[in-house]
Amino acid sequence: MGEHPKQSHYPSPQKAQDIVSRTLSIIVDNEPGVLARVIGLFSGRGYNIDSLTVTETEHEKHLSRITVITSGTPAVIKQIKAQLERLVPVHRVRDLTNEGGSIERELALVKVAGKGEKRIEALRLAEIFRAKVVDTSTEHFVFEITGKPSKIETFMQIMGELGLVEVSRTGIAAIGRGSTML
């Protein structure tokens, strides 16, 4: 006791544990404010969001599917799931990474500007990546590319040398493998 100005009346942080990445699928009622509830929970409790996609997937039932890629210690991941399930408009939460694995895909629109050799090289490489040209002029291409996030990362890296000026990514959509539904 005595002179220890750094002491406080809160416990010290826990020792570091391994960080893991998880893909969570959250089925929610598509009602006003539901996305704010979910992302507010992440920010309010200090959890990470590495990617987020959301849209209504079952119109007649007004159900939306939120896909969140998050990272944290296994204990934190467990807490995130429990906290999400506590939200009133949440129907169910599935950890796709942990439950049989998942297919994860993302779409990106990639704008590459330039002339001459680089432009031709960009088009050639885009074909290898099966990226589609969706807009063009004599000075630019907009490519549409879908795939695993790692494929998009690689594509962007390569295009970085060939005049990449802008990227828009959708974030990751994920679905569990196999015939069972979420």
Partner 1 sequence: MARTMTGAEIVLTALADQGVEVIFGYPGGAVLPIYDELFQQDKVRHILVRQEGGAVHAAEGYARSTGKVGVVLVTSGPGATNAVTGLTDALMDSIPVVCITGQVPTHLIGNDAFQECDTVGITRPCTKHNYLVKNVNDLARIMHEAFHIARTGRPGPVVVDIPKDIQFATGNYVGPSNIQHKTYRPKLKPEQPAIREAVELIAGAKRPVFYTGGGVINSGPKASQLLRELVRLSGYPITSTLMGLGAYPASDKQWLGMLGMHGTYEANMAMHDCDVMINIGARFDDRITGRLDAFSPNSKKIHVDIDPSSIDKVVQVDLPIIGDCAYVLEDMLRVWKAKSPVLDKAAHKTWWKQIDGWRGRKSLAYKNSKDLIMPQYALQRLYELTKDRDTYISTEVGQHQMWAAQFLNFEEPNRWLTSGGLGTMGYGLPAAIGAQVAHPNALVIDVAGDASILMNIQECSTATQYRLPVKVFILNNEYMGMVRQWQQLLHGNRLSESYTEALPDFVKLADAYGWKGIRCDHPADLDDAIKDMINSPTAVMFDCRVAKLANCFPMIPSGKAHNEMILGEDVTDEEVQNAIGKEGKVLV
Q: State the residues that interact with partner 1 by CB under 8 A.
A: 1-5, 7-12, 14-15, 29, 32-33, 36-37, 40-41, 44, 75, 78-79, 82-83, 85-86, 88-91
For partner 1, the closer of residues 3 and 117 by Cβ is: 3
CB of 51 to partner 1, least distance (A): 23
For partner 1, the closer of residues 29 and 127 by Cβ is: 29
Residues whose CB falls within 8 Å of the CB of residue 142, separated by 6 or more in sequence, listed in order? 109, 110, 111, 112, 133, 134, 135, 136
For partner 1, the closer of residues 99 and 121 by Cβ is: 99
Cβ 131 vs Cβ 100: under 8 Å: no
* DSSP character at residue 131: P
For partner 1, the closer of residues 12 and 180 by Cβ is: 12
Question: Which of these, 46, 42, 51, 43, lies nearest to 22 by C-alpha position?
Answer: 51
CB of 127 to partner 1, least distance (A): 47
For partner 1, the closer of residues 33 and 116 by Cβ is: 33
CB of 63 to partner 1, least distance (A): 10
C-alpha neighbours within 13 Å on the C-beta side of residue 89: 17
CB of 47 to partner 1, least distance (A): 13
CB of 11 to partner 1, least distance (A): 5
Distances (CA, A) of 79 to 34, 71, 75, 127, 172: 19, 12, 6, 43, 22
Residue 154 corresponds to which amino acid?
Answer: T
